[in-house]
Amino acid sequence: MKIKKVVVVITARASYARIKSFLIEANKNKKIKLFIILNSSSVLEKFGDITNVLKRDKLKIYHRSFTSLEGVNLTNQVKTTALNMIDLSVLFRRINPDLVITIADRFETLATAITAAYLNIPLGHIQGGEVSGSIDEKVRHSITKLADIHFVSTNKSKNNLIKMGEERKKVFVTGCPSIDLIKNISDMKLDFNPITKYRGIGSDIDFKKKYIIVMQHPVTTNYENSALQIEETIKAIKKINMQTIWMWPNIDVGSDNISKKLRLLRERNKSLKLHFFKNFSPEDFLKLCFNSQILIGNSSVGIRECSYLGVNVINIGNRQRNRERGNNIIDVEYNSAQIVKAANKYLTKNKKSLRSKLYGNGNAGKKILKIINKEKLTYSKVLSF
pLDDT band with cut points at 50, 70 and 90 for residue 222: confident
pLDDT tens digit string along 362-374? 999 999 999 999 9
Q: What is the mean pLDDT of residues 269-282?
A: 94
Residue 382 has pLDDT above 50, yes or no: no
Using DSSP's 3-state secondary structure scheme, residue 371 falls into helix
pLDDT at 2: 84
Residue 253 near residue 172 (C-beta atoms within 8 A)? no
pLDDT at 281: 94
pLDDT tens digit string along 224-259? 999 999 999 999 999 999 999 999 998 888 899 999
Residue 271 has pLDDT above 70, yes or no: yes
Using DSSP's 3-state secondary structure scheme, residue 18 falls into coil
pLDDT tens digit string along 69-96? 876 788 988 999 999 999 999 999 999 9
How do 123-126 and 149-152 pair as beta strands?
Answer: parallel
Q: What is the mean pLDDT of residues 178-205?
A: 96
Residue 158 near residue 171 (C-beta atoms within 8 A)? yes
pLDDT at 71: 67
Q: Is the dihedral of CA 365, 366, 371, 376 positive or negative?
A: positive
Domains and CATH numbers, the chain: 5-182+362-374 (3.40.50.2000), 194-349 (3.40.50.2000)
Is the pLDDT higher at 357 or at 2?
A: 357
Q: What is the mean pLDDT of residues 200-208?
A: 96
Residue 381 has pLDDT above 60, yes or no: no
Q: Write b or e for each residue in 209-221: b if 16 or more Cβ atoms lie within 10 A of its Cβ, otherwise e.
A: eebbbbbbbbbbe
Residue 303 near residue 313 (C-beta atoms within 8 A)? yes
pLDDT tens digit string along 146-187? 999 999 999 999 999 999 999 999 999 999 999 999 999 999
Q: Write b or e for each residue in 149-164: b if 16 or more Cβ atoms lie within 10 A of its Cβ, otherwise e.
A: bbbbbbeebbebbeee
pLDDT at 349: 66
pLDDT tens digit string along 6-34? 999 999 999 999 999 999 999 999 899 99
Q: What is the mean pLDDT of residues 109-131?
A: 97
